[in-house]
With several copies, the nearest count.
Chain A
């Protein structure tokens, strides 16, 4: 298969799973005729017909709730949020209905629902088309949260998410949609959920990241390599459950932890990572762990403001360099 973008990988995974399993179908706003605002569902209507991909009214709560209903009866709905920011409008259905359905039924049902869509900043989307909502969901038992950073993972993890029997929030970083490309194999198995991936080996400092900031971290690591600092980069891929064993391995190796994400600092996943590491791996640490994240404000529109708020390759490199020198 030729080089595919992250976006094409998403599209491919959807089609491959729809071919494999007639229970898989897609619902969302403008997903069928238009093929989605970002074209993630392009071609699905033509290949699978209108029973397998449904253009819905603008009703995010309905979308998630109907997904729970269809999933509980054995279908495998994939619900697209046109932008993940709008999940705030279906929030209750996700964190209360979907996340507890199995629990409330004493284990007597399964909810194989995927809620997917574009997240993230860096394209001047401003306050409501730039959000990184993962930390709202990583604190909700009963949900799984996945955030691929490569085209290969977008394909492999989305397949796994679709085959998974629990509600999965699948976060696609919109800045990666067309900027990330790689050669993909003709056939690709699902990538297991819950397993981090070592994106780059190194011995001096561990960067733990996911999603939109992986490319920044790799670029920063590249720069530091030229300075003789050997940075290891762990791509979490699944955010709930988190692969803490992999974090422990890399921290055990380097003794120095830098958590990086595009989400804001306060209440972001980085805090949780740092807390677990200091609780469980205190004796492994050779330096205070650090975070590089967006600043604690909304993601603003003007490019100057947005650049000021978002984490940068420079900040990552500086923090890693500082840790290495500690």
Chain B
């Protein structure tokens, strides 16, 4: 969590320094979700992060340097400078990068889960989406399919109450996105997305069900984004009270209290973590800044796995000529 947050802090700072161009979407305040949902995943489990889920990349083991280079649009980034911010993935670590189109990864996650099921593999696909994205048709098609085939997939809704400026009340007529799970024949679970222990526990149940062949789960994590939709957004559509109210529920102190209650020396943990975090982020920034900018013609690379060097066409009339068409319909 701390790493995510520090990473994001650094991105904000770089953004302020004008080194990041393009959209920057902060997940500040929501870090417990990515951490809690990915903590128990192995490298073969495939995750489908959302635009605020820097933490998913981090916890799944994507190299921080490549991640930072990705954000800076460098050759060393996951997409080699091709796409921006978190629109990139590293499948070797089980991270599938989405397009910008909200909700569009959920069908893809079903395809991954289908593979696990067909091959009797004990892995899980985990797809993140916002409460705003829940309105997209793709989300429905995916959940329905997952229900029919009882796929090993967990849909994680990060419900932070806003989609850009749009409050949940204009996004849907229900309180919980998880209410929809029943209509797909799957389980819906709701938890506090600001409470790492709760996320871990809830996600644990969903993962166990998926691995045991019990089918899909919709996990809804209630949370709040502290910052604007993107770094450009002052988020005037929210009240200060609301922001303050949610600030008191910050996931990091909450987790520290939890650890403390279990007898951990939080001050020590904090010191160690902070040092480690600073080191990792420093190294990532150093790597990213040292990474070369792509030159230009790389724009044609990675389009095709099998590029076609068009060979000579076979000359002369073809061996087979079709009969004149006989329209039978």
Contact surface of A with B, Cβ cutoff 8 Å: 25, 29-30, 33-34, 37, 51, 54-75, 77, 83, 85-86, 88-89, 92-93, 96-97, 100, 102-112, 122-129, 141-142, 144, 149-152, 164-166, 174-183, 192-201, 214-216, 218-219, 222, 234-235, 238, 241, 243-246, 249, 295, 297-298, 300-305, 307-309
1/0 per residue, CB under 8 A from A, across B289-328: the answer is 0000111111111111110101111111110111111111
Q: Are B322 and A214 in contact (CB under 8 A)?
A: yes
B215 is an interface residue with CB less than 8 A from chain A: no
Q: Are A62 and B327 in contact (CB under 8 A)?
A: no
- Please give, as numbers and ranges, the residues of chain A lying within 8 Å of B296 by CB-CB distance: 304-305, 307-309
Known: A62-B141, A179-B326, A295-B300. A198 touches B318 (CB 8 A): yes
B166 is an interface residue with CB less than 8 A from chain A: yes
Closest to B102 in A: A58
Q: Are B114 and A70 in contact (CB under 8 A)?
A: yes
- The docked-state distance in angstroms from the alpha carbon of A239 to that of B74 is 34
Interface set, chain B 48-84, CB cutoff 8 A to A: 73-74, 77-84
- The docked-state distance in angstroms from the alpha carbon of A179 to that of B322 is 10
**Contact among B84, B105, B170 for A124, CB-based, below 8 A:** B84
Q: Are B101 and A86 in contact (CB under 8 A)?
A: yes
- Please give, as numbers and ranges, the residues of chain A lying within 8 Å of B115 by CB-CB distance: 69-70, 73-75
Q: Are B324 and A219 in contact (CB under 8 A)?
A: yes
Q: Are B293 and A304 in contact (CB under 8 A)?
A: yes
Known: A175-B329, A182-B320. A59 touches B314 (CB 8 A): no
Q: Are A245 and B312 in contact (CB under 8 A)?
A: yes
Q: Are A297 and B322 in contact (CB under 8 A)?
A: no
The minimal Cβ–Cβ distance linking B263 to chain A, given in whole angstroms, is 42
Contact surface of B with A, Cβ cutoff 8 Å: 21-23, 46, 73-74, 77-84, 87-92, 96-97, 99-115, 118, 125, 132-133, 135-138, 141-142, 144-145, 148-149, 163-166, 170-172, 237, 293-306, 308, 310-318, 320-329
Q: Are B89 and A105 in contact (CB under 8 A)?
A: yes
Q: Are A65 and B142 in contact (CB under 8 A)?
A: yes
For the A-B complex with A57-B166, A62-B110 known, give 8 more contacts whose Cβ atoms are closer than 8 Å: A61-B138, A66-B108, A69-B112, A72-B111, A73-B46, A92-B104, A166-B304, A245-B310
Known: A69-B111, A301-B81. A106 touches B302 (CB 8 A): yes
- The docked-state distance in angstroms from the alpha carbon of A162 to that of B85 is 33
The minimal Cβ–Cβ distance linking B54 to chain A, given in whole angstroms, is 16
Q: Are B101 and A104 in contact (CB under 8 A)?
A: no
12 CB contacts below 8 A, A to B, read: A69-B109, A100-B99, A107-B305, A108-B91, A112-B305, A126-B82, A126-B84, A128-B83, A152-B320, A180-B322, A194-B308, A222-B324
- The docked-state distance in angstroms from the alpha carbon of A205 to that of B296 is 30
Known: A69-B125, A70-B114, A308-B299. A29 touches B21 (CB 8 A): no
Known: A70-B115, A106-B77, A107-B80. A149 touches B322 (CB 8 A): yes
Q: Are A64 and B107 in contact (CB under 8 A)?
A: yes
The minimal Cβ–Cβ distance linking B96 to chain A, given in whole angstroms, is 7
Closest to B233 in A: A34
- The docked-state distance in angstroms from the alpha carbon of A97 to that of B295 is 25
Chain A to chain B: the 7 pairs with minimum beta-carbon distance, closest first: A69-B111, A65-B107, A308-B296, A128-B100, A302-B81, A66-B111, A57-B135
Q: Are B314 and A181 in contact (CB under 8 A)?
A: no
- Please give, as numbers and ranges, the residues of chain B lying within 8 Å of A64 by CB-CB distance: 107
The minimal Cβ–Cβ distance linking B257 to chain A, given in whole angstroms, is 35
- The docked-state distance in angstroms from the alpha carbon of A107 to that of B23 is 23
Known: A34-B164, A65-B111. A58 touches B133 (CB 8 A): yes
Q: Are B111 and A77 in contact (CB under 8 A)?
A: yes
- The docked-state distance in angstroms from the alpha carbon of A182 to that of B317 is 16
- The docked-state distance in angstroms from the alpha carbon of A152 to that of B148 is 38
**Contact among B90, B108, B166 for A97, CB-based, below 8 A:** B108
Known: A71-B111, A75-B115, A300-B81. A165 touches B306 (CB 8 A): yes
Q: Are A246 and B73 in contact (CB under 8 A)?
A: no
Most buried by B among A56, A74, A151, A192: A56
- The docked-state distance in angstroms from the alpha carbon of A91 to that of B296 is 29
Q: Are B164 and A30 in contact (CB under 8 A)?
A: yes
